[in-house]
Structure 1
């Protein structure tokens, strides 16, 4: 039977803590663990159990304050984890430093408290997590003075809140914004863009605004995959799915107003979409005025702004047609956390192959299509193509040859 020291090394402490703080992946909740925990072994060559690695994934190297917390995430935490129940309308950004038994048998809880305190320069709440029996009264006093939460972890996996932190009002301005983005309704997730043509998403507000069944209207005139159309419309900020019933956002209402100006009524507008089914022509060229609206909607999506701005800089630097690996390497130098979240699949084996323990990119995996996140390299890129922003459409990772996949602006001025 494993002793407490063997079962509560740092990776295990962090895994139990993540289960407590982030028990699911509901909308508004997202967390990553530092890339140092993606390695196969921990101290003294001891293997990190596969179930621990699976719990800790996905991995990313996110700077918060002056360092890199063991865990950083966004979630509306329960009252027994925070000194206040609510933090405005936005879930708090949480940073965790974990400490476990070392090879020598000690646990440096005090150092974890000081590290967690540093994260409060950008995080809204910070915790130290450690084996419960290793946490002294002086540790708790120090944490209380520094406004750091203390989580005591038992061998059984239970986690007790020994000190409650107060939420502070810092707003992330650095790399941690990538985690806020992923936790938001517009974060790049597997279900974000199930379809690769923007007309399917633009049509959703038109169907929703009409009398009658939204799904039936879409299926008859636009696309049968109505759930994917709804999800994509939500990710593009056209509809709000969070209330008791679906509703149009201000951007969605503008799409409806545009449709009424362009056509006699909404019914005529959505029937016009039927004429565009199965067309291979770039939407920006097929229906220029709708294409301009598409461009506006897609530019309102936060990831688009980042990608276009950095592609423009690359063009100015003499690289007008970078390949996918070239673009990812360049982007990672400037926005490492965002790049990982946007482009690399979240599975632990992918990020373990693609990232070093210090969060640096390894080159070889970037030339393998299976490394990449389909919603970005396939669906989002296809949307940017149809909006007249990029020169090439996207490809599924299974059909992707990264070195031949060009990311270039159609209008490079």
Structure 2
């Protein structure tokens, strides 16, 4: 029986996303909706209101199994959503297929269950979500048999778990890894690098180990932007933020050892940072040893390895001085999900301007600087410049000319020599 108030697929999905990913600011949490929903009208000319699209954003075209789920993300669901008490250190990767009412028929829940089951090849849990009144007992029985969760959505936005799935292990695809990357402290969504000199991040572990107040010591010797430095140090894996407080990681401890081998104390090491304030010189040139340490640290950042590998491949293929547009178009062929998440801002407007409904790039939009994610094209690029990896420093999006923004390895390998 159809609901008295028909629920379209975009609206079903918006309510479901709000319920499953209620706190996107939480650690290890991130979600994207398929690009087919980044349109102004749905099916038979039904408009998707702008507020609904904003709830659905960001958009990306993520391949799991043999298709593209409507919603995919990482989170720690409440106990009412999963038939498990614990799911290990890593929150599960969740795929959702949405079904809604159309002018001609009610939601095809059975088809959604089959689609969700296919996603379990690479997701840890899968759901079908649909208007509550369209879910039959036969649908629920099939879902139980296939270990697919069923979420019933009411017209007022209430989401009720009708069948609860078990978490399963699986092999992980590149697209799934890209979403997991965004959900970790190493991702670039929402909060990330805010400072463009690596000394500001290397100095934070030293200040943390100093016997005096961390913020006071850091402000005195390094920079006043303590919060930005702490956040960047976490993104680079130098520190870990726990409920009990901030602690050093093994990589952060190595920064301390590095400093103590060269200075008589933590205080002396921090004092050396004062000479670099305001310097425009490349860090690896004005402080070679610290520059080498920077290179070691940023190499642990997952995006660095991908960028260096692909820039070398581009060099081998004759793209010796690629622009930002060249790089993004190149990366998108092999790593589409990762490329979108790393380079493009996550707003509804940007993703809709740059990606079509199939997740393909609109190349003309890439020539507009404001579509790019500042922490990547400005801060991360500047860090790679100071580490001696890239030839050019970064630029803020409002000053960026993507077609002329050079992404070139400072020391490319010549395969023919």
Q: Is the 8 A contact 1:30 1:182 kept in 2?
A: yes
Q: Distance in 2 between matches of 1:6 and 1:400?
A: 47
Name the SS for the 2:189 alignment partner: coil
Aligned to 1:354: 354
Q: Distance in 1 between matches of 2:198 and 2:266?
A: 18
Aligned to 2:379: 379
Q: Is the 8 A contact 1:78 1:85 kept in 2?
A: no
Aligned to 1:13: 12
Deviation at 1:170, TM superposition (A): 1.5
Aligned to 1:233: 233
Q: Is the 8 A contact 1:5 1:101 kept in 2?
A: no
Q: Distance in 2 between matches of 1:141 and 1:382?
A: 55
1:131-280 aligned within 5 A: 131-280=131-280
Name the SS for the 1:167 alignment partner: coil
Q: Is the 8 A contact 2:385 2:393 kept in 1?
A: yes
Moved more, 151-160 or 187-196: 187-196
Q: Distance in 1 between matches of 2:4 and 2:203?
A: 58
Q: Is the 8 A contact 1:34 1:68 kept in 2?
A: yes
Q: Distance in 2 between matches of 1:62 and 1:279?
A: 42
Q: Distance in 1 between matches of 2:5 and 2:358?
A: 25
Would the alpha carbon gap of residues 132 and 190 (structure 1) be closer, same or farther in structure 2, given more than 3 Å must change?
closer
Q: Is the 8 A contact 1:43 1:103 kept in 2?
A: no
1:300 pairs with 2:300: yes
Q: Distance in 2 between matches of 1:6 and 1:374?
A: 42
Moved more, 242-251 or 122-131: 242-251
1:365 pairs with 2:337: no
Moved more, 3-12 or 333-342: 3-12
Q: Distance in 2 between matches of 1:395 and 1:341?
A: 19
Deviation at 1:4, TM superposition (A): 4.3
Q: Distance in 2 between matches of 1:23 and 1:185?
A: 19
Aligned to 2:331: 331
Deviation at 1:193, TM superposition (A): 0.7
Q: Distance in 2 between matches of 1:206 and 1:347?
A: 36
Give the CA RMSD over aligned residues.
1.0
Deviation at 1:106, TM superposition (A): 2.1
Using the size of structure 2 for normalisation, the TM-score is: 0.97
Name the SS for the 2:410 alignment partner: coil
Runs of 4+ deviating beyond 4 Å:
3-7
Q: Is the 8 A contact 1:95 1:123 kept in 2?
A: yes
Deviation at 1:174, TM superposition (A): 2.3
Q: Distance in 1 between matches of 2:13 and 2:248?
A: 40
Deviation at 1:364, TM superposition (A): 1.0
Deviation at 1:264, TM superposition (A): 1.5
1:61 pairs with 2:55: no
Deviation at 1:52, TM superposition (A): 1.1
Q: Distance in 2 between matches of 1:383 and 1:253?
A: 20
1:310 pairs with 2:313: no
- Structure 2 stretches of 5 or more lacking a match? none
Q: Is the 8 A contact 1:189 1:375 kept in 2?
A: no
Q: Distance in 1 between matches of 2:158 and 2:234?
A: 37
- Structure 1 stretches of 5 or more lacking a match? none
Name the SS for the 1:246 alignment partner: strand
Q: Distance in 1 between matches of 2:403 and 2:161?
A: 49
Name the SS for the 2:150 alignment partner: strand
Q: Is the 8 A contact 1:124 1:171 kept in 2?
A: no
Q: Is the 8 A contact 1:149 1:164 kept in 2?
A: yes
Would the alpha carbon gap of residues 252 and 281 (structure 1) be closer, same or farther in structure 2, given more than 3 Å must change?
same
Deviation at 1:242, TM superposition (A): 2.0
Q: Distance in 2 between matches of 1:83 and 1:189?
A: 29
Count of aligned positions:
411
Aligned to 2:320: 320
Q: Distance in 1 between matches of 2:7 and 2:107?
A: 10
Could you give the per-residue CA deviations for residues 160-199 of structure 1, whole angstroms, max 9, x where no partner exists?
Answer: 1000000001242321111000000111134311100000
Aligned to 1:47: 47
Using the size of structure 1 for normalisation, the TM-score is: 0.98
Q: Distance in 2 between matches of 1:198 and 1:70?
A: 38
1:343 pairs with 2:343: yes
Deviation at 1:317, TM superposition (A): 0.6
Q: Distance in 2 between matches of 1:289 and 1:271?
A: 16
Aligned to 2:395: 395
